[in-house]
């Protein structure tokens, strides 16, 4: 058997709440832009369904009975929650609210996306955005298995992109950096000198390392001294700052250190290294409007 409350309309509750707030049927009718008898009929119907007296005359004004106060408190909560829910639904339909799970390889997730997503979040305060930062070799599977709605990452030939849509969105520069405390104060390095330098780099057989080696080989550079290997750009950077050697790092990951002077750039004469970053999402995935909005806004910011 259905409860009485489940048979009440939100509109009746809204009318009752306005009467309670204004303490007047006539003023409530003006506020709602409906006839006064209609307001009275709603109040009578609500009281009848609940089986209690809700209002009483207090001079020229309407006052709530004890039961009326209890019903008003409950009705007000229902109306407010309903209005909030309706706004959320409307925002979701317009792409202003929802949830987006974004995957990112380490450099993008650590150094680029935070500065892009923060102002986007301010424009879409009702949206929930989470970023999963992981090794780039794991990103395609995370997208394929639904752990992420879409992702931004580097790719190398070993990546299995079957079932995925892949779009190039950005080229990032790899630049050679050294510590300001290093003995050599040279501002540039010739190609034939590169192979002799002590390098800190990514671990062997990782996409980051493979891409770096392939780019260097295109210029005929084969490094002879790999003094340290790390699994994250931040660790490589800290080792270089400590004077362990030099490293090729994405320009976006060392902007603060170059500005503060804790690292300095070594020009590589006759060589410029650029690594493409890609947007990846599952083929035939039905993205929500909010997810599509986030995908478009972040992609545009990355391209800019």
Q: Check: CB of residue 129 under 8 Å from CB of residue 96.
A: no
Q: Which residues pair with residue 260 across a beta bridge?
A: none
pLDDT at 1: 34
pLDDT of residue 170: 92
- The CATH number corresponding to 5-93 among 3.40.50.300, 1.10.390.10, 1.10.10.10, 1.10.3720.10 equals 1.10.10.10
**Per-block mean pLDDT, blocks of 10 residues, the chain (304 long):** 60 89 89 89 88 85 89 87 69 71 94 95 90 91 90 85 92 94 80 92 90 93 93 92 94 93 92 95 88 94 90
Q: Helices H, strands E: what count in the chain?
A: 12, 12
Alpha carbons 105 and 83: distance in angstroms, whole number: 40
Q: Report the 10 Å Cβ neighbour count for 279.
A: 19
**Alpha carbon distances (Å) from 222 to 68, 189, 194, 197, 239:** 84, 15, 8, 11, 21
Per-residue pLDDT at 2:
47
- Considering the segment(s) 102-277 as one domain, its CATH architecture is 3-Layer(aba) Sandwich (3.40)
* pLDDT at position 156: 79
Pick from 255, 233, 237, 258: which is nearest to 246 by CA?
A: 237
| pLDDT value of residue 82 | 79
Could you tell me the residue ranges of all domains in the chain?
5-93, 102-277
pLDDT at 57: 84
The Cα angle at residue 260 between residues 256 and 262, in degrees rounded to 5: 95
Tokens of 285: 């995935």
Q: Is 223 helix (H, G, I), strand (E, B) or coil?
A: coil
């Amino acid at each position: 058997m259905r409860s009485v409350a489940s048979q009440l309309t939100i509109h009746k509750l809204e009318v009752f709440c306005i009467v309670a707030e204004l303490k007047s049927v006539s003023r409530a009718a003006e506020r709602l832009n409906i006839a006064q008898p209609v307001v009275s009929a709603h109040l009578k119907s609500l009281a009848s369904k609940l089986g209690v007296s809700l209002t009483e005359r207090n001079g020229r004004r309407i006052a709530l009975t004890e039961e009326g106060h209890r019903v008003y408190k409950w009705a007000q909560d229902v109306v407010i929650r309903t209005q909030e829910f309706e706004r959320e639904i409307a925002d979701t339909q317009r792409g202003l609210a929802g949830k987006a799970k974004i995957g990112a390889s380490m450099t993008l997730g650590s150094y680029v996306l935070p500065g892009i997503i923060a102002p986007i979040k301010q424009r879409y305060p009702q949206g929930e955005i989470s970023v999963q930062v992981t090794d780039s070799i794991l990103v395609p599977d995370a997208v394929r298995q639904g752990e992420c709605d879409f992702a931004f990452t580097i790719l190398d030939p070993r990546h299995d992109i079957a079932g995925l849509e892949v779009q190039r969105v950005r080229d990032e520069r790899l630049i050679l950096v050294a510590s300001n405390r290093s003995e050599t104060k040279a501002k540039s390095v010739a190609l034939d000198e590169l192979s002799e330098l002590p390098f800190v780099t990514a671990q062997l057989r990782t996409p980051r390392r493979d891409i770096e080696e392939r780019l260097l080989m295109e210029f005929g550079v084969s490094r002879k001294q790999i003094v340290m290997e790390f699994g994250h750009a931040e660790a490589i950077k800290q080792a270089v700052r400590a004077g362990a050697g030099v490293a090729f790092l994405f320009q976006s990951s060392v902007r603060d250190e170059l500005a503060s002077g804790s690292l300095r750039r070594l020009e590589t004469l006759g060589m410029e290294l650029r690594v493409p970053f890609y947007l990846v999402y599952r083929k035939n995935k039905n993205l929500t409007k909010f997810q599509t909005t986030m995908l478009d806004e972040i992609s545009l910011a990355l391209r800019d």
